[in-house]
A and B are shown apart, each in its own frame.
Chain A
Amino acid sequence: MKRKIFGYVFAFMAMLLWASLSDRVSFAADESKEGVPAAEAPKAEAPSAVPAAPAAAAPAPKLPPYFTATSPDPKTPAPWPDPTGSASGVWATPAGDGKGDVPDKLSMQDLYDRMAHNLYSINYVWALVAGFLVMFMQAGFMLVETGLCRAKNASHTAAMNLMIYPLGCLAFWVYGFAIGWGNWWNGPVAPGWYPSLGPGLSVLNEGWGWGAAVDAAGKATGAFTYGLIGLKGWFLTGAVGDTAVLVLFFFMMVFMDTTATIPTGAMAERWAWKNYCLFGLWIALPYCLYGNWVWGGGWLAQGGINWGLGHGAVDFAGSGVVHSMGGVIALAGAMVLGPRIGKFNAQGRPNAMPGHDVPMVALGTFILAFGWFGFNPGSTLAGTDLRISYVVVNTMLAGIVGALAAMVTLMMKGLKPDTTMMCNGMLAGLVAITAPCAFVDPWAAAVIGLVAGWLVVVSVFFWEARGIDDPVGAISVHGVNGLWGVISVGIFATGQYGAGWNGVVRDGMVKLYGSDGVRGLLYGDFSQFIMQVIDAGTVAVFGFVMAFVWFKVSDLITPIRVSKEIEIEGLDGPEMGVLGYPDFQLHPSASGASAAIDVASAAASAPLGVQVRKVVTD
């Protein structure tokens, strides 16, 4: 996952700080500090972009305990899990009263301890604030999906987007985090890697897979040749009660809720509430399993090590893990549910069912685009990883070009620039850039957004022509463009970033390019492209099959679709007991009341399902 490279950058920064500090202090103090050789090592090796490895080779730079998972002293146990964060460096304030720090009396080690604590703090705050933005994307999804539905289903659609947050979060806390990230620590990493959130994450060390690795003494290390599932962290109990683990939990949790809320759009206006609730508790299963394979150190991440395919599956912020997964589940759901009554006429041609509040859709799109500035750059899990500026700019470029491309595509088809479609275009660009955002140049981000904006329009028409009813375009925005995003890494990644990603450092690449970053086929690594295609295929097949079976099975437990009468009346009253707009007089389709539903006439009267307001002037 992300940790390899931010680990490098983190270690590199730590070393540089150590180095600069050593220089400065050695003027004042005597020169016998052992920091001096360490200071030279990273300087000499800086251009190689693999700073940690030479540091390890340097003469005995003894690392402080907060950089290691195991205790340096065998007699004392490692301080992890650490529920207060006090083991991560030293948190001290300057003292006016003589009790805190007195600068003159601080040794080199003391200073370093304090700086290390601040580095962790920066990374914590970065990951948490970014996570807050991602959580706020729920509001964006609610607005987009509700606005694209008809007024008679507004309360129901809003409620689905509201309650997926608690339902999904509950499931993630109970079992999702454990199966997704329970063996995080044993995933493939480059030599010399340090976690940006601290080694407290080393408590995430139990899982299951094929080919258990053993150490020299024949003892299982906890790593697997093909990791399949994590098995630690159920209910976040004491065994994982570490500040760093909770940061990771929170960040990964809000990501999962994005996936969970995508199908609610494609399945809106006809999904029975009880079945939806079951779904909310189930979604963590496919999400976290696949998340484990790509982000939790599982078999897709290990594709580089095991099969020599690039750096294994590379998905920086989740075009595949988050968006494709949500999109293919949405597709399965829309297929099992079937189209809304009146969506297709007797000849199978699609009818339009206009959303009831387009400004709401545009507002939601803006909120999502804003939240994406947490989604993508936050995925470094390290504010100290200065690549975040590239991530931000790439994210922005892909989003704006996506919206423009959707507009131009519509106009070239002789259509008007449909507002909702341009919203979809912006989101499509953002979805597509999510996987490659850290690895590509800005021009490539624009190209990725361009393709995404075109693809989303084509895709919306494609699915509609095949009888799949997706009221909000979730399948096209998240599913199709998520897959495009995953594959685009294998095309456009420049190789500048991601050295050692997923534990892959190939001598040939280092010799050729100076370092082994994540590299697409345009930059000389075709194997990465193959791996990305495997990854995209995996999420499409795995997500779809899991979801299709689930929806079919859950339909037996409690019906997945509301009755025809409820659907025509609108789900707000019968399902939620609260109308979205009680002050408006709603006119459900005239044919709706009759038992025999004429599909064509129901469609024709769909636009009538709008509010008629009485206005009395005078």
Chain B
Amino acid sequence: MKMVEAIVKPFKLDEVKEALTKAGVQGMTVEEVKGFGRQKGHTELYRGAEYSVDFLPKVKIQILVPDDKAAKLVEVITDSAKTGKIGDGKIFVTPVEEVIRIRTGEKGEDAI
């Protein structure tokens, strides 16, 4: 099993969700996060004074997938979250040791 974490632009959330659902993903966890990458935030003005926004708002999507589907879903996310402009985000794929469904106690891929 793999954990796929995608950090995307907030306004892309709906598109990514639609695409993933269409690709057969049944559940996901979404989180509002802030951060920066190579683009390093930007400056804004407030009442005439400049201030830097170091951490830009992003949305982090977490999905848990069987090993064989991971590559396909990463592609789905990449396609749906892409604008081609700086700040599109990143995707992390990590192995997952165990998954347990709390209600039934099912384990492994059954619990996904």
Contacts and interface: CB of A to CB of B under 8 A. Distances in A.
Interface of A: 350-354, 410, 413, 415-416, 418, 420-421, 457, 460-461, 464, 473, 603-608, 612-618
A464 B28 contact: no
Given A616-B29, A618-B28, A618-B29, A461 B34 contact: no
A354 B53 CA distance: 11
Interface string B28-47: 11111110000000001111
23 contacts: A352-B45, A352-B47, A352-B50, A354-B46, A410-B48, A413-B48, A415-B45, A418-B45, A418-B46, A418-B48, A420-B47, A464-B48, A603-B51, A604-B54, A605-B54, A607-B51, A607-B54, A608-B34, A612-B34, A613-B32, A614-B32, A615-B32, A618-B27
Contacts of B52: 604, 607
B17 interface: yes
Contacts of B33: 612
Contact of A607 (B27, B30, B53): B53
A401 to B, nearest CB: 20
Nearest to B52: A604
Nearest to B50: A352
Contacts of A617: 17, 28, 30
A461 B45 CA distance: 13
- Interface centre among B31, B45, B49, by most A CB within 10 Å? B49
Contacts, number: 67
Interface in B50-69: 50-55
B31 A606 contact: no
A187 B32 CA distance: 65
Given A613-B32, A615-B31, 20 more contacts: A350-B49, A351-B51, A352-B47, A352-B50, A352-B51, A354-B46, A410-B48, A413-B48, A415-B48, A418-B47, A420-B47, A464-B48, A604-B54, A607-B52, A608-B55, A612-B34, A614-B32, A615-B32, A616-B29, A616-B30
A352 B34 contact: no
Interface residues of B, number: 21
Contacts of B45: 352, 415-416, 418
B51 A354 contact: yes
B25 to A, nearest CB: 10
A463 to B, nearest CB: 11
A473 B47 contact: yes
A420 B27 CA distance: 42
Nearest to A424: B47
What 6 A-B pairs come out closest when comparing CB atoms?
A352-B51, A352-B46, A352-B49, A350-B49, A354-B46, A617-B30
A614 B59 CA distance: 10
A460 B34 contact: no
A461 B49 CA distance: 9
A461 B32 contact: no
B38 to A, nearest CB: 19
Contacts of A604: 52, 54
A542 B48 CA distance: 31
Contacts of B49: 350-352, 464
Interface string B58-92: 00000000000000000000000000000000000
A473 B49 CA distance: 13
A334 to B, nearest CB: 15
Contact of B48 (A353, A461, A613, A616): A461
Contacts of A615: 30-32
A617 B17 CA distance: 10
A605 B44 CA distance: 14
A606 B54 CA distance: 10
- The listed residue with most A CB atoms (<10 A of its CB), out of B27, B28, B44, B48, is B48
A511 to B, nearest CB: 52
Interface string B93-110: 000000000000000000
Contacts of B28: 617-618
A613 B57 CA distance: 11
Contacts of B50: 351-352
A420 B46 CA distance: 9
A351 B34 CA distance: 21
A618 B18 CA distance: 12
A607 B49 CA distance: 13
A499 B2 CA distance: 87
Nearest to A607: B53
Nearest to A349: B49
